[in-house]
Amino acid sequence: MKPSFLAQTDTAPPTPSASSGTLEEKIRSRRAKTAVVGLGYVGLPLLTEFARCGFTAVGIDLDPQKVAAIEAGSSYIPDVPSETILELRKANRLRATSDFRVLAEVDTVNICVPTPLRKSKDPDLSYIMAAVDQIANHLHAGMLIVLESTTYPGTTEELVLPRLEETGLTVGQDFFLCFSPERVDPGNPHFNTHNIPKVVGGMTAACTHHGSLFYQQAMEKVVPVSSTKVAEMVKLLENTFRSINIGLANEMALLCDRMKIDVWEVIETAATKPFGFMPFHPGPGLGGHCIPVDPFYLSWKAKMAGVEARFIELAGQVNSAMPQFVVHKIQAALNHQAKPIKNSRIHVLGVAYKKDVSDVRESPALDVLALLHRLEAKLTYSDPHVPQVMLDGLAMESQPVLPSCAEADCVVLVTDHSAFDYASIAEQSALIIDTRNAFREYRREKIIRL
């Protein structure tokens, strides 16, 4: 049963205005011109979906390389085929620019910019506010603005709305403001921008109506909620749920390691229970932009409200300590062979933050490499999706998996890419530390799992 506050996505907005009537007609007829600010893993797939369903779509990004790639009909995001970009470019339904003046011509704009944490673990909303400032400079009646960047509850109402209303226009009448959390899972072959349910919360009922109607044109399912704060909290709950449960799995891995118990067998067996249990798995740490970052947005907001978010903080501590645990496993395994880490040849398999993607943001592999570098190991890595990484200011280039694994004193699997030939790696490596249970079929003494 749906919560009672969920409205139907196709109901008429309360107290219609001339602006709302014109915008609704443009959305329904797909004559609305739409813009997306920020063309990364979230923005480019979103822009593509709007263009595919018939809207004229323009992407805005300050990175000239991204703009040039799209204008040339090329994609830099694995989930968006270059053929799709090229087809939409030829149909004149998609383009890209770094010029924010195009906002004066559009009817809708989605903000999909980064929301990192500062070193002090508090939110950095500078990218959002820079985008909002540009939108405010070109805000006009009948415009729909949707913030998709992950942030803390209250951002849309407390920061975005006041800046837009400085123009003299009124939300819910002259323009419409919503928050709709991005739920992209890069590399997922089953769920993408089109078929992941889209949550939408507006500043007013009219805002929610227009936002829902807009997404309904391109997405399979739209889930309207009662406010922007609810929509903002939904995303944080989703990723905090994962962070805490992964933290529990990692803590179980530490405990099982000390007690000489196979944590993978424990989890697999517990998962046979048909109710009351959902399997999460340990690993070398959390990566990507969302799961390592979003819980701290919620934790920071909780502190502002006078609440101590102990589960969130503890999970963060456990997860952030996992790269050090991996290095400890490497050190113990080499010591068992009478080898110190210093000057040992250690080859890392996978530096992307997750399987089959090229994104290295917050990747635990970078932490593992940095820790090993400080211990003066001789390091190499292989990653079919990441040709180069920076380590302490030095560029490292991906090496062929073989013979690199055969020549190493220790191979460390951090990211379990599908492209790796695990049978050959298991056969030719002298010692393997497996942080992902990818070598579960090759149970040998030289393969050590978390």
DSSP 93: S
Q: Which amino acid is at 12?
A: A
Helix (H, G, I), strand (E, B) or coil at 418: coil
- Distance separating alpha carbons of residues 148 and 150, to the nearest angstrom: 6
Do the Cβ atoms of 442 and 426 come closer than 8 Å? yes
Q: Closest Cα partner for 75 from 63, 85, 67, 65?
A: 85
- Distance separating alpha carbons of residues 24 and 28, to the nearest angstrom: 6
Look up 290 and say whether it is catalytic: yes
How many CB atoms are closer than 10 A to CB 404?
21
Answer positive or negative: Cα dihedral of 336, 339, 340, 344.
Answer: negative
- Distance separating alpha carbons of residues 329 and 324, to the nearest angstrom: 9
- Distance separating alpha carbons of residues 34 and 94, to the nearest angstrom: 10
DSSP labels for 115-172? --B-TTS-B--HHHHHHHHHHHHT--TTEEEEE-S---TTHIIIIIHHHHHTTS--BT
Do the Cβ atoms of 431 and 333 come closer than 8 Å? yes
Phi, psi (degrees; rounded to nearest 5) at 36: -125, 125
Q: Tokens in use for 356?
A: 């089959």
- Distance separating alpha carbons of residues 44 and 193, to the nearest angstrom: 10
Q: Work out the angle at residue 281's Cα, subtended by the Cα atoms of residues 46 and 421, and round it to the nearest 5 degrees.
A: 80
What kind and span of H or E run contains 312? helix 310-320
- Distance separating alpha carbons of residues 242 and 28, to the nearest angstrom: 37
Which position among 207, 256, 290, 410 bears the catalytic label? 290
DSSP 124: -
Q: Closest Cα partner for 127 from 32, 236, 43, 225?
A: 43
Map tokens 């909620």 to a residue. 225
Do the Cβ atoms of 131 and 38 come closer than 8 Å? yes
Do the Cβ atoms of 285 and 367 come closer than 8 Å? yes
Q: Which residues are catalytic?
A: 290
